[in-house]
Amino acid sequence: MSSPVVVSINDISQENLVDAFGENSLGILVVKDLPQEYQKLRKTVLTQASYLANLEEKYLKELECPDGFYLTGWSLGKETLANGVLDKLKGSFYINCSFFKDPTLEGPPVEDCKGYENYKAYTTWNKWPKEDQENLKNFQNNCKALITLMIEVSLKICAKIDLYCEKHLKNYESGYLESVIKESTTSKARLLHYLPSSAPSNSDWCGLHCDHSCITALTSALFFDGDKELSSSPDPNAGLYIQDRQGKVVKVNIPPDCLAFQSGSALEEVSGHQFKAVPHYVQGTQLPGISRNTLAVFLQPSLHAQVNQTETFAEFADRILKENHR
């Protein structure tokens, strides 16, 4: 399949999920006809991402979380690329999504952290910027509203995956995937600001990888030329690329009024390998001065939840990270 499966939010079915995530799929589903507030929330949050990334360094430093391995709050130049070089091409603002389960939570409750003291990347609570600047007013509420909408759409997909797995797998627990995602205290959102370069570059903004979530919900990107918002990408070759099941690389364009959903490695486990993780990367632009903002929400189980017969999500994540960092 050389193009994404596109479906209305009202028509998500087991059949189009097999087409989107199955053995011969591209590994991505594009959902249209989203709730009316989606487009305004997307534009607001992705615009605020640029203002956040351009705060004075001393304020961004306050938003860093070294104890959480820089996977909570602000992170720039902390992640090592496959070539061993620190990634200074993109800034990230990480948000734990526990508030979806309980609005009083900014991270896993104490009882969810017992026995997982070495998993600070998942258990550290959120850090939010001060909203005393006009451009960052309501930033926290805006992010939470957009993330909540994205999780709610994801749960519709999870419910259909459950129905498929109940039919095709022995001893599959009814409604399991929907339940573990709905109750998760370790799902995480990543608000991304791909920095502009001062000169043309062939570098990838993000190298080839598979997410180890169950499902990743992804907004369409918003591009800027300096401070000017662009209506579309100025470089037709820049953006999201997927490697299909036959190894062919396909560029995927997500319409601004749609959400995309990619299959991750944990979904392979939960679904008994009925659905496959999708390798993907983001290619940079040849044009100097162009930045790119997007939001990804990684829907993954709580650390104690089982993803297969022998591993919890914590054990599975450990194994995947070790395999990826040999």
| CATH number attached to the domain at 5-324 | 2.60.120.330
Pair type for strands 5-8 and 90-96: unpaired
DSSP secondary structure letters along 180-225: HHHT-S--EEEEEEEPPPSS----EEEEEE---SSEEEEEPPEEEE
For residue 78, the number of C-alpha atoms closer than 13 Å in the C-beta half-sphere is 17
Residues 170-215 have pLDDT tens digits of: 989 999 999 999 999 999 999 999 888 765 555 555 677 888 899 9
Alpha carbon distance 326, 244 (integer Å): 25
Residues 291-317 have pLDDT tens digits of: 999 999 999 999 999 998 889 999 988
- How many residues comprise the chain? 326
Cα 235 off chain centre by: 23
Q: Average pLDDT of the chain?
A: 90
pLDDT at position 309, please? 87
Radius of gyration of the chain (CA): 19
pLDDT at position 190, please? 97
pLDDT at position 54, please? 93
Domain range annotation of the chain: 5-324
Residue 151, pLDDT > 60, answer yes
pLDDT at position 34, please? 98
Kindly indicate the confidence band of residue 288, based on its pLDDT and cuts at 50, 70 and 90. Answer: confident
Mean pLDDT of 133-157: 97
Alpha carbon distance 23, 30 (integer Å): 18
pLDDT at position 326, please? 37
Mean pLDDT of 272-288: 86
Mean pLDDT of 46-67: 95
pLDDT at position 200, please? 53
pLDDT at position 82, please? 57
Select the more confidently predicted residue: 257 or 240: 257
Residue 267 tokens read as 């979904």
Listed in order, strand segments (DSSP E) in the chain are: 5-8, 28-32, 73-76, 90-96, 188-194, 204-209, 215-219, 222-225, 228-229, 239-243, 249-252, 259-263, 280-283, 290-299
Residues 220-253 have pLDDT tens digits of: 999 999 889 998 889 888 888 998 878 889 999 9
Residue 324, pLDDT > 50, answer no
Residue 56, pLDDT > 60, answer yes
Residue 51, pLDDT > 50, answer yes
* Residue 178 dihedral angles phi and psi, to the nearest 5°: -60, -40
pLDDT at position 101, please? 97
> Which DSSP category does 122 fall into?
H
Residue 88, pLDDT > 90, answer no
Mean pLDDT of 8-33: 92
pLDDT at position 325, please? 39
